[in-house]
Chains A and B, each alone.
Chain A
């Protein structure tokens, strides 16, 4: 019996694909399984085609599988736009309603088995129940999920819509369960003995929002942008509940500067955006560097450049996040290593920005942000250090003077005897504007050193496994890489996975001239770099900042197609035979 099952649901806009996917994920969760739900949609606001891509299993899953076991087409509208995102094999089942037409060539060419699922007929017989719920009911029954779980999920999801919609949905699910095609007999997942406790169901965007709140963020200013808006929509009411505030700004230039104003006022602040917004914010981030004002930007990356592919994922804001600020502008760049890790990494980013009085960019992406996972409850790390605040009534307060660690005490407005001007011009230790070479050199050195010398603890680099072959990756591709490595280990081959959670400052944690990343690669002879970027941004970053072993391969390709575990194994090629 398989340990995970992958299901793709597709249909045109309004067909209810994502709702059916949610019912499936939530019902499977109630039955004790883990899983993830990834959304893929076209550019239309409403009426566009969409796909719900699920993977369910007896253990937590962090990436989509290499292929789908089942494709359920609610209809065939614009399926060609998704065909390459839904790999199928000979054993895969394609479930569709014959009355919706023949299986289109783009799907038929994949050689899977076609199974008739008469959605329209079943829905009509169930007093015009919604077809998406018929499909969800059929799939849940095929997996072996009890009807009570399915109906509880439908009620939780659709209860707000009111009685008629809810009862019609339940009728649909029951009709689907009664009409499961015989060909679906071996889709059942192994039953879970007990439902695991303390599991969370959340998207990467929600996790990042939670991390922000855990880190103490109480002010957010932001401008709507796909695929980051949900993070902001999740935060808005919760911030209010916690006594904070979210301002919808007039543009991203305002967002970042509002955050700087609030942070200057002593309130930890954050904004979320995507590539186009990050581009507009870079000048503000430079001000945060020069004025030493803590701020966090969560960049939920999408295909670029320009407006690019707003609804789909790519890891291509790494260059601008690392190098997009003008001047010598040391700052923090972090990346979560999984959907659930968006919570920790964002919380850590807030902590670091506050402690080091510097801007931090968190590089999430659409694949992390809009994927919903069922996972173990992420740990809440109690960080001890906070923003260093100036004590009141100093005879001669110097905002930009610091001791050995390079971190100066920051006065909070309202405090008597420490008034100063936060300054974006180069300045002396008091903050008075200065164009002198000495002041420039000293302030630059301090702003660099305070980041380089900080002890980032055990979180800066994810290292799993050992051996002399390593896969080095970052961000959302970590899921597929970790699964590929696990499959290699299951075959008795040692593989190390190295993923920096802290990308900048790149040379942090140096010991005897070796960076933290170089030390993580100690004893490694061969490195496979995996990333979702046509121009190999991560590979170039590694080459620019770190000494790598002589043998380096690169699996790099643009979004939006996710990198699958078997592709990573294939890229290892003959290295994995050693």
Chain B
């Protein structure tokens, strides 16, 4: 799996399209989009060698706001699309982006198996702990007692999903958390994530001022992890278990082979259709 490394020089804004985002004023996703284009620029990626793949939700609108190749698919299925694209076209840089509902609820199964497969791609989740596009329902990362949604008047009543811990447990080899209030840090982490040879997962805490105004307080709560990145998944798990979910930085950067098409099997030696047809002759 080798992505094309033809360094070119384009400004971050040249990775943006002329389509105006549908996002609300103050939405954290603007900063993630900016960080993404900044990272593409820093990496010197030719726009045609990058594909941004997404599902459905506010943050999943991001492909159309870039000038690279994009795929805006179905709710929850972005990682599956990205997986197929990366296996078929290992030369491309594949970045999958989306929200917490898209990635951890309807698409949760794909998240687990994408971590297991460890393909060389990057998954950025803009986590605002809410379904914004459908007007403010609880998501998998919402606090158990968050009672602002009419759908779950007493709060969702469940322990929030722990994306970074689960990514480590499921086999992701690069796990990081960052905050939209620190766009340069997101860009730095994204550069590392894209360079990482394996599945890199970036949880970007990205406040929703419309449905979760209380998230304005996040900027006072977030702080860097108090340790350097580890290459040991067990150590990364311990740190994440002990964390309150608001520490930022790269937690894990480990090495493990990516999934590759199997090369075994009795007939793998047939390299032409004619050779395969000869086996069928009665």
Number of interface residues of A (CB under 8 A): 66
Is the pair A250, B89 in contact by a Cβ cutoff of 8 Å?
A: no
| In the complex, chain B residues whose CB is within 8 Å of the CB of A247 | 83-84, 87, 261
Please tell me if B134 contacts chain A, counting CB pairs below 8 Å.
no
User: How many Å from the CB of B36 to the closest CB on chain A?
Assistant: 14
Please tell me if A417 contacts chain B, counting CB pairs below 8 Å.
yes
| In the complex, chain A residues whose CB is within 8 Å of the CB of B221 | none
Number of interface residues of B (CB under 8 A): 55
Please tell me if B227 contacts chain A, counting CB pairs below 8 Å.
no
Q: Which one, B87, B271, B281, contacts A245 given CB within 8 A?
A: B87
Please tell me if A547 contacts chain B, counting CB pairs below 8 Å.
no
Is the pair A260, B261 in contact by a Cβ cutoff of 8 Å?
A: no
Is the pair A219, B87 in contact by a Cβ cutoff of 8 Å?
A: yes
| In the complex, chain B residues whose CB is within 8 Å of the CB of A432 | 19, 64
Q: Can you name the residue of chain A whose Cβ is closest to the Cβ of B49?
A: A414
Is the pair A251, B85 in contact by a Cβ cutoff of 8 Å?
A: no
| In the complex, chain B residues whose CB is within 8 Å of the CB of A29 | 282
Please tell me if A523 contacts chain B, counting CB pairs below 8 Å.
no
Is the pair B280, A202 in contact by a Cβ cutoff of 8 Å?
A: yes
A247-B277 Cα distance, complex, nearest whole Å: 23
Q: Can you name the residue of chain A whose Cβ is closest to the Cβ of B80?
A: A257
Contact with B along A233-256 (1 / 0, CB 8 A): 000111111111111011101110
Please tell me if B7 contacts chain A, counting CB pairs below 8 Å.
no
The interface stretch among B65-73, B181-189, B197-205, B236-244 is B65-73
Q: Which one, B81, B84, B262, contacts A240 given CB within 8 A?
A: B262
Please tell me if B63 contacts chain A, counting CB pairs below 8 Å.
yes
Is the pair A210, B88 in contact by a Cβ cutoff of 8 Å?
A: no
Is the pair A267, B89 in contact by a Cβ cutoff of 8 Å?
A: yes
User: How many Å from the CB of A287 to the closest CB on chain B?
Assistant: 5
Q: Which one, B70, B80, B268, B276, contacts A213 given CB within 8 A?
A: B276
Q: Which one, B80, B268, B269, B281, contacts A200 given CB within 8 A?
A: B281
User: How many Å from the CB of B134 to the closest CB on chain A?
Assistant: 15
User: How many Å from the CB of B91 to the closest CB on chain A?
Assistant: 7
Please tell me if A258 contacts chain B, counting CB pairs below 8 Å.
yes
A250-B110, A421-B63 are contacts. A374–B282 as well, Cβ < 8 Å?
A: yes
User: How many Å from the CB of A309 to the closest CB on chain B?
Assistant: 27
Is the pair B74, A261 in contact by a Cβ cutoff of 8 Å?
A: no
A75-113 residues with Cβ-Cβ distance < 8 A to B are none
Please tell me if B163 contacts chain A, counting CB pairs below 8 Å.
no
Q: Can you name the residue of chain A whose Cβ is closest to the Cβ of B270?
A: A241
| In the complex, chain B residues whose CB is within 8 Å of the CB of A251 | 109
Is the pair B84, A261 in contact by a Cβ cutoff of 8 Å?
A: yes
A421-B265 Cα distance, complex, nearest whole Å: 38
Chain B positions within 8 Å of A, measured between CB atoms, are: 19, 46-49, 51, 53, 61, 63-64, 67-74, 76-77, 80-89, 91-92, 109-110, 112-113, 261-273, 275-277, 280-282
Give 15 A-B contacts (CB < 8 Å), ordered by A residue.
A198-B281, A201-B280, A213-B276, A221-B84, A237-B262, A238-B267, A240-B262, A241-B268, A241-B276, A258-B83, A261-B80, A265-B89, A414-B91, A420-B69, A421-B71
